[in-house]
Amino acid sequence: MWIQDRETRGGVISALRDGLIRSLVPLLLIAGSPGPAAAWPKDLSNPAADKGDLILPMPCGGAMAFRKVLIPNQGPLNDYGIVVGGDDADHAYAEHPRPAQIAGSFDQDAKTRYYLIGKYEVNRAQYAALGSQCQPPADDQRLPQNNVTWLEAMAFADRYTQWLLKNAADKLPKDGQQPGFLRLPTEVEWEFAARGGLAVPVAQFRERTFPMEDDMVRYVWFEGTESANGKPQPIGMLKPNPLGLHDILGNVDEMVFEPYRLNRLDRLHGQAGGFVVRGGNYFTPQAEVRTAQRIEVPFYVKGEPRRAETTGFRLVMTAPVESSREKLKSLREGWNKLGSAAIAAEASPGQPQSIDAKALDDPVAELGVISDAAQDANMKNRLRNVQNRLKMTIQERDDQRKLAAKAALRLGAFLCQKMGADGKWVDAAETLLKQREAAFGADDPGVKSRRDQLKGDRAALTENLLYYSETILGAAAIYDGPVLGEQFEVLKTELELKNYQALLGYADTYYRQLMAYRGNPAVRQNAWLNDCKALNKK
Average pLDDT score over residue span 359-364: 59
Q: What is the pLDDT of residue 74?
A: 74
Range 523-538 burial, b when 16+ CB lie within 10 A, else e: eeeeebbebbbebbee
| pLDDT tops 60 at residue 58 | yes
Domain ranges of the chain: 48-318, 338-395, 399-536
Element (H, E) at 77: none
Q: What is the pLDDT of residue 229?
A: 95
**Residue 515 DSSP one-character state:** H
Indicate the pLDDT class of residue 409, thresholds 50, 70 and 90.
very high
193-212 residue pLDDT tens:
999 999 998 778 989 999 99
From residue 255, how far is each of 182, 183, 199, 221 by CA, in Å? 14, 11, 24, 17
443-478 residue pLDDT tens:
888 888 888 898 998 998 988 898 899 899 888 888
| pLDDT tops 50 at residue 177 | yes
| pLDDT tops 90 at residue 347 | no
% of residues, the chain, pLDDT over 90:
50
**CB 518, CB 481: distance < 8 Å:** yes
Average pLDDT score over residue span 332-336: 73
**How many angstroms separate the CA atoms of 188 and 380, rounded?**
37
Q: What is the pLDDT of residue 35?
A: 45
450, exposed or middle or buried, with CB in 10 Å at 0-12, 13-18, 19+? middle
99-112 residue pLDDT tens:
899 999 999 998 89
Average pLDDT score over residue span 510-530: 90
| pLDDT tops 60 at residue 17 | no
Average pLDDT score over residue span 84-94: 92
Please report how the helices 445-478 and 525-536 are oriented relative to each other, as an axis angle in degrees rounded to 10: 110
Average pLDDT score over residue span 208-235: 96
Please report how the helices 377-440 and 445-478 are oriented relative to each other, as an axis angle in degrees rounded to 10: 160
**Residue 255 DSSP one-character state:** E
Average pLDDT score over residue span 380-408: 77
Q: What is the pLDDT of residue 340?
A: 60
494, exposed or middle or buried, with CB in 10 Å at 0-12, 13-18, 19+? buried
Segments in 248-362 forming alpha helices (H): 325-337, 355-359
Task: Name the range with the highest mean pLDDT among 128-142, 311-325, 386-400, 485-499.
Answer: 311-325
Say which residue, 97 or 331, is predicted with more confidence: 97
Written as one string, the DSSP assignment of 86-150 is ---GGGHHHH--EEEEE--SEEEETTEEEEEEESS--BHHHHHHTSSS-----GGGGSB--S--H
Range 322-352 burial, b when 16+ CB lie within 10 A, else e: ebeeebeeeeeeeeeeebebeeeeeeeeeee
Closest CA to 81 of 404, 501, 488: 404
**CB 177, CB 324: distance < 8 Å:** yes
433, exposed or middle or buried, with CB in 10 Å at 0-12, 13-18, 19+? middle
Indicate the pLDDT class of residue 502, thresholds 50, 70 and 90.
confident
Q: What is the pLDDT of residue 260?
A: 96
Indicate the pLDDT class of residue 9, thresholds 50, 70 and 90.
very low
Q: Which residues pair with 102 in a beta bridge?
A: 80
CATH, range 48-318: 3.90.1580.10
260-299 residue pLDDT tens:
999 988 889 999 999 999 999 999 999 999 999 999 999 9
Element (H, E) at 482: helix 481-497
CA 525 to chain centre: 39
Average pLDDT, the chain: 84
* Residue 456, phi then psi, degrees to nearest 5: -65, -40
